[in-house]
Amino acid sequence: MSGIDERHPEITPRRVRFDWSETPLHWIPDEPVATHFINVLHLLLPAGERWFVHVYKQALPLVADDPRLHGEVRGFMGQEAVHAYSHQGVLDRQMRERGLDPRALTLRIEWIFTRLLGDRRPLPIMTRRAWLNLRIGIIAGIEHYTAVLGAWILDARELDAAGADPTMLDLLRWHGAEEVEHRSVAFDVYQHVSGAYWRRFLAFFAGVIAMPLAVYFGAAFLCAKDPTLHGVRPRVRDYRRAVRRGLFPGNRFMVAAARRYLRRDYHPSRECSTRRALDYLAVSPAARAAKRR
Ligand SMILES: [Fe+2]
Ligand SMILES: [Fe+2]
């Protein structure tokens, strides 16, 4: 027995810092397209995770009657804020200082999260509370994937074997480990404020359709803006090759994760392992340095 409460581990932000001065643009050597498939995360997460925090500020009063959940939500918001800031650092330094300016796309992504998914109701017949509940449902669905992808990257030894940059791997694994750590919070908030299965189902499908489109268009954008690639476009063949090499999770993995999420008796505490996440955080250079500070 590990002695860890998988449903309610302690959630506190770690104030990590990353130095991007030694990280090359293609941080998986000789794999520019696979690098950009994963780089799509850096495009989406800063705006996406700031949006989580924005929505959860409105959700906090709704969970005030459950002090433990309330505390977990505050820890979750702190962790997500540090995640957003850390991935923003990749955009502003690792990419831009090497000649890849992502702002043409990140401004649009910002618009999606602040306007399209902002506080204004998309339909007049929808109440403010129903719109908030739907957005909380979307966050629960996304958080299922951030946790299973976090667990995936903790164990993706193929990235180490391919010579991936250690600072980038540490960012992705520290973030992945914290996603595993706080994986139950968004689902528990959703169950607390709404719990309707149909809304969870609907919100999940909105995200599921958006995800492959985001990966493809995001990677195509990064390849087009990459000053060293001269118009290379990502092809399905590139994606399959990255999956075969173990550098990117495959369709089967993603579909299996969706099927688990859509079970009526789903709970995130039965996914992933907090012990595994804590074991990584104990050796993560960024998390250790944050602890010393
Ligand atoms: Fe996160
Ligand atoms: Fe998260």
Asked, for residue 10, whether it belongs to a domain, the answer is no
Asked, for residue 156, whether it belongs to a domain, the answer is yes
Residue 206: per-residue pLDDT = 82
Residue 96: per-residue pLDDT = 97
Asked, for residue 2, whether it belongs to a domain, the answer is no
What confidence tens digit (pLDDT) does each residue in 241-286 have? 999 999 999 999 999 999 999 999 999 999 999 999 999 999 999 9
pLDDT tier at 221, thresholds 50, 70, 90: very high
Full 3-state SS string of the chain:
CCCCCCCCCCCCCCCCCCCCCCCCCCCCCCCHHHHHHHHHHHHHHHHHHHHHHHHHHHHHHHHCCCHHHHHHHHHHHHHHHHHHHHHHHHHHHHHHHHCCCCHHHHHHHHHHHHHHCCCCCCCCCCCHHHHHHHHHHHHHHHHHHHHHHHHHHHCCHHHHHCCCCHHHHHHHHHHHHHHHHCCCHHHHHHHHHCCCHHHHHHHHHHHHHHHHHHHHHHHHHHHHHCCCCCCCCCCHHHHHHHHHCCCCCCHHHHHHHHHHHCCCCCCHHHCCCHHHHHHHHHHCHHHHHHHHC
* Type of residue found at 37: F
Asked, for residue 23, whether it belongs to a domain, the answer is no
Residue 21: per-residue pLDDT = 96
CA of 30 to the centre of ligand 2 (A): 30
| Averaged pLDDT, 59-87 | 98
Predicted model pTM: 0.96
Indicate if the pLDDT at residue 2 is higher than 80.
no
Q: Encoding tokens for residue 92?
A: 């502003």
Asked, for residue 15, whether it belongs to a domain, the answer is no
- CA dist., res. 251 & res. 123, Å (int): 33
Q: What are phi and psi of 166, to 5 degrees?
A: -65, -35
Q: Which domain holds residue 80?
A: 32-292
Asked, for residue 179, whether it belongs to a domain, the answer is yes
CA of 86 to the centre of ligand 1 (A): 10
CA of 79 to the centre of ligand 1 (A): 7
CA of 147 to the centre of ligand 1 (A): 9
- CA dist., res. 77 & res. 48, Å (int): 12
pLDDT tier at 1, thresholds 50, 70, 90: very low
Nearest ligand atom owner, CA of 142: 2
| Averaged pLDDT, 109-129 | 94
Average predicted confidence (pLDDT) for the chain: 95
How many Cβ atoms are within 10 Å of 251's Cβ, its own excluded?
A: 11
Q: Of residues 66 and 231, which shows the higher confidence score?
A: 66
- CA dist., res. 135 & res. 190, Å (int): 9
**How many domains does one find in the chain?**
1
Asked, for residue 52, whether it belongs to a domain, the answer is yes
Asked, for residue 41, whether it belongs to a domain, the answer is yes
What confidence tens digit (pLDDT) does each residue in 123-171 have? 999 999 999 999 999 999 999 999 999 999 999 999 999 999 999 999 9
Q: What is the CA radius of gyration of the chain?
A: 19
Residue 212: per-residue pLDDT = 85
CA of 229 to the centre of ligand 2 (A): 32
Q: Are 263 and 174 in contact (CB under 8 A)?
A: no
Identify the CA nearest to 136 among candidates 190, 66, 206, 202: 190
The number of residues in the chain equals 293
CA of 182 to the centre of ligand 1 (A): 9
How many Cβ atoms are within 10 Å of 168's Cβ, its own excluded?
A: 22
% pLDDT > 70, the chain: 99
Residue 126: per-residue pLDDT = 93
| Averaged pLDDT, 191-204 | 94
